[in-house]
Structure 1
Amino acid sequence: MTTAGDLIADGRLQSNVWTSTERALSGLAYGTAAGLVLALVAGLSRLGEGLIDGPVQIKRGIPSLALIPLLILWFGIGESMKVITIALGAFVPVYIHTHNGLRTIDSRYVELAETLGLSRPRFLLHIVLPGALPGFLLGMRFAVTAAWLALAVVEQVNATSGIGYMMGLARTYGQTDIIIVGLVVYGLLGLLSDGLVRLVERKVLSWRRTLAG
């Protein structure tokens, strides 16, 4: 606690936490957008599924962190590589669970939409998106965790700021207490992020709780 207080007092903790949060959120945003768009294309089109699902499943079997050497060759060791690594870790769970949600939409709703003659935009708005939402939010929970895990690794690669950078300096000087503070902060940020997604899930999907009980 004393170490954390000292880090807060001199501003190092807040500055590094803010930098790490920006990295994580940037990667998460790009990964979520990519996963959602690809899932919609693959879920609503047989051609799209044929073109997209196979490569994504291959990517699913390759840990994003294993791609770091390749990403360093392509993008260098700056911020772009870090954000892209986080995005790659986040997009797979969003894609997988959103795509699964689309594929498991009750066929009766689809038949009802056809009977009512819903236009394509109305079909997407009233049938597809509500049906995919539970899967998307579940994917977001996994994506948030993946984003923080990837962040913890990429911040060890030529970072000049962030929690990982702070921990790297502490390792150099044998400051175990600062390393422990960094680990605790990573854990708290992950817990807070998951809690926020779960809160959104409860608010948006409140109708599911009502039907359940």
Structure 2
Amino acid sequence: MSVTESPGIYVPPAPTRRAAPAGRVRLVPAHARGRGLPRWLRRTSGPVALVALWHIASVTGVLPAEVLAGPATVVSSAARLIATGELQQAIVVSLGRAMAGLALGGTVGVLLALASGLTRLGEDLVDAPMQMLRTVPNVALIPLLIIWFGIGEAPKIALIALATAFPLYLNVYAGIRGVDQTLIEAGRTLGLGRAGLVRHVVLPGALPNALVGLRYSLGIAWLALVFGEQINATAGVGYLMANAREFFQTDVIVVCLVVYAILGLAVDMVVRTLERIFLAWRPSFTGA
């Protein structure tokens, strides 16, 4: 008698296998599914459509050349300025001013944020004056800057430094004070002293805010540069724009505006690259 036939002995039936499906269906995450046009094409379609509308309005006479030159005229003027070397020289001068002002203002803003964010005494001494000064319009300080520094390069760089210091101060200060207290307690549990906590916990935790502040400061640097280069400038993109304004050359003005926009986009891409490098540990939402 087999085991299965023995009385009083229960043998469970052998497990049955499910039939394998004829074809496997691969699940694709939602963010990896195709969405028609490539992303780079979708991102460039907006500016291309805007330029096309601008060209059509210029050709049909809806937008007179006296009001705004057409894209063809602007491209021709840009080629002429590049051929003579004026545009390259102006870009180098303006970029140097912006970076010098950002380096000065950013250094001061970060140091003040560290003093205010890491110590209560620093907060009491620094934060209130910074909150008052940041509400003062930077353009209103131009007469004082001219009196203090003359009409050379110093007031231009000082104006950019003042404009860029406050965004970095606010964001770095908020980043330091926004570090999770649980991480601080974990660091103390692991035996980190005050210096170790600042180096390994507080500063890395404040880095995302610091990079956001850097992006804001870079954008404001170009705005301050436009005003700064109106102070008796003899070179730079703002100087080209001021000369074009005197002779009603809207094509040159548009070229200068496009240069400002391209420079701003270029430095913003640099900051985005820094974010990808230094914040690779942080998962982020990339859009639905």
TM-score of the aligned structures, taking structure 1 as reference length: 0.95
The match for 2:93 is: 19
Alignment of 1:60-139 (within 5 A): 60-139=134-213
The 3-state SS of whatever aligns with 1:157 is coil
Q: In structure 2, do the counterparts of structure 1 residues 211 and 115 end up closer, same or farther at CA, with 3 Å as the change threshold?
A: farther
Asked which structure has the greater CA Rg, the reply is 2
The residue that corresponds to 2:234 in the other structure is 160
User: Quick one: distance in 1 between partners of 2:268 and 2:97?
Assistant: 17
Residue 200 (structure 1) aligns with:
274
Q: Which residue number in structure 2 is paired with residue 170 of structure 1?
A: 244
TM-score (structure 2 length as normaliser):
0.71
Q: Deviations over 1:133-158 (max 9, x none)?
A: 01100000100001000001110110
Which letter maps to 1:89?
A: A
Report Cα offsets for 1:154-183 as digits up to 9, x if no partner. Answer: 101100100000111112222221111001
Q: What fraction of aligned residue pairs are identical, expressed as a percent?
A: 50
Shift of 1:94: 0.3
What letter is aligned with 1:3? S
Q: State which of 116, 119, 125 in structure 2 corresponds to 1:42.
A: 116
The structure in which a higher percent of residues are helix is 1
Which deviations, in whole Å up to 9, do the C-alpha atoms of 1:112-148 show, x marking residues without a partner? 2222221333222101110110110000010000100
Aligned counterparts of 1:120 and 1:95: Cα–Cα separation in 2: 22
| Partner Cα separation in structure 2 for residue 77 and residue 121 of structure 1 | 44
- Unpaired stretches in structure 2, ≥5 consecutive residues: 1-74
Aligned partners of 2:187 and 2:285: how far apart in 1?
22
The residue type equivalent to 2:76 in the other structure is: T
RMSD of aligned Cα (Å): 1.4
The 3 A distance-change label for structure 1 pair 210 and 88 is: closer
Partner amino acid, structure 2, of 1:145 = G
Q: 1:53 & 1:202 partners in 2: Cα distance?
A: 31
Using the alignment, how far apart are the partners of 1:53 and 1:89 within structure 2? Answer: 17
Q: State the Cα deviation string for residues 73-122 of structure 1 (Å, max 9, x = none).
A: 11111111100100110010000011000001010111122222213332
Question: How many residues are matched?
Answer: 212
1:48 Cα deviation from its structure 2 partner: 0.2
Partner of 1:209: 283
Pick aligned residue for 1:51 from 125, 143, 166: 125
**Alignment partner of 1:2 is 2:76:** yes
Q: Which runs of 5+ in 1 are unaligned?
A: none
- Structure 2: distance between partners of 1:211 and 1:86: 33
Q: Which has the higher contact order (CA 8 A, sep 6+)?
A: 1
Q: 1:125 to 1:73 in 2, by over 3 A?
A: same
